[in-house]
């Protein structure tokens, strides 16, 4: 066969690594193969005379679907969140151990969306298990918000009113946990929160909402994730 005749990358990798074609495809999909110095993740990619390299520490492992945690700013709609997930906005402090792959930026579904004017933790996932958990069981998962407010002191019973006995749009609200973080910020630990609900609850006790930020969904906290950046959700973390 002439050296310049096009061949599939998987075939060349199988020859180089002395492995089966299926194993070669796994190496490629896992981001372990470079063509002329650039990572290529498509086994069907065709090559001719390009230099193909397989990483010395390459491992045969399935490319699992990815789940990302994003610190969304108040300037973005939740529906636009997938466009914010890119290699350039990957947090330097990501300790998940997940290898960054180009396939991770495809078919991401935003889950448990935030209001446009709210900031904080958002989840985007390719994983059907995560999608089912946060959609089918979403109302049973506690979320934590920090709400900055202004207004006159509503008195000693404001927290009690916020915690139980309120309604929103004619629907009685289940009890939640509310406390002061400082003089101007309230912390809500709440389930099944609806768009506009936190703002309305605060208005019922005389507060005007300045900002809303979600900092936790279930057992997963945003932590020190910088604004506008994202990190992977490691396999060990569960909502």
User: Is 7-54 a CATH 3.30.450.90 domain?
Assistant: no
Question: pTM of this prediction?
Answer: 0.84
User: Under a CB-based contact definition with an 8 Å cutoff, are residues 116 and 122 in contact?
Assistant: no
pLDDT tens string 23-76:
988 888 888 899 998 888 888 899 998 999 999 888 888 778 999 999 999 988
What's the rounded Cα separation, in Å, for the pair 129 and 104?
A: 16
**pLDDT, mean of residues 65-91:** 94
Residue 1: the pLDDT is 45
**pLDDT, mean of residues 8-18:** 91
Give which of 104, 95, 1, 97 is closest to 48, Cα–Cα: 1
227 CB neighbour count, 10 Å cutoff: 12
What's the rounded Cα separation, in Å, for the pair 222 and 43?
A: 36
**pLDDT, mean of residues 229-235:** 95
Torsion, Cα of 121, 124, 125, 129 (10° steps): 50
Domain spans, the chain: 7-54, 67-139+220-232, 142-217
Residue 8: the pLDDT is 92
pLDDT tens string 149-177:
998 777 778 899 999 989 999 999 999 99
What's the rounded Cα separation, in Å, for the pair 72 and 227?
A: 6
Identical fold at 67-139+220-232 and 142-217?
yes
**pLDDT, mean of residues 137-148:** 97
Q: Cα separations (Å) of 78 from 71, 94, 103, 122, 220?
A: 11, 22, 21, 8, 19
pLDDT tens string 91-108:
999 999 898 999 999 999
SS3 for 131? helix
Per-residue confidence at 2, pLDDT binned at 50, 70, 90? Answer: low
Under DSSP, the state recorded for 191 is S
HEC letters along 114-161: CCCCCEEEEEEECCHHHHHHHHHCHHHCCEEEEEEEECCCCCCCHHHH
**pLDDT, mean of residues 135-141:** 95
Q: How long is the chain?
A: 239
- Fold of the domain built from segment(s) 67-139+220-232: Alpha-Beta Plaits (3.30.70)
Is the pLDDT at 88 greater than 90, yes or no? yes
pLDDT tens string 182-219:
999 999 999 999 999 999 999 999 999 999 999 999 99
Which of 3.20.20.120, 3.10.20.600, 3.40.50.12710, 3.30.70.1560 would CATH assign to domain 142-217? 3.30.70.1560
């Amino acid at each position: 066969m002439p050296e310049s005749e096009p061949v599939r990358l998987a075939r060349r990798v199988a020859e180089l690594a002395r492995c089966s074609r299926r194993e070669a495809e796994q190496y490629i999909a896992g981001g372990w193969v470079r063509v002329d110095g650039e990572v290529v993740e498509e086994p069907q990619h065709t090559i001719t005379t390009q230099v193909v390299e397989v990483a010395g520490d390459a491992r045969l492992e399935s490319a699992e679907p990815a789940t990302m945690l994003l610190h969304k700013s108040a300037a973005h709609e939740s529906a636009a969140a997938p466009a914010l997930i890119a290699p350039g906005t990957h947090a330097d402090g990501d300790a998940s151990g997940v290898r960054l792959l180009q396939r991770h930026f495809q078919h991401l579904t935003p889950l448990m969306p935030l209001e446009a004017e709210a900031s904080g933790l958002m989840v985007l996932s390719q994983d059907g298990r995560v999608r089912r958990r946060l959609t089918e069981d979403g109302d049973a998962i506690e979320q934590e918000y920090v709400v900055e407010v202004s207004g006159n002191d509503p008195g000693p019973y404001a927290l009690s009113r916020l915690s139980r006995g309120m309604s929103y749009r004619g629907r009685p609200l289940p009890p939640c946990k509310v406390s002061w973080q400082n003089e101007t910020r309230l912390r809500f630990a709440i389930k099944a929160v609806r768009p506009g609900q936190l703002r309305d609850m605060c208005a019922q006790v005389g507060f005007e909402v300045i900002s809303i930020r979600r900092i936790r969904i279930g057992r997963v906290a945003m932590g020190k994730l910088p604004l506008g950046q994202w990190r992977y959700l490691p396999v060990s973390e569960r909502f």
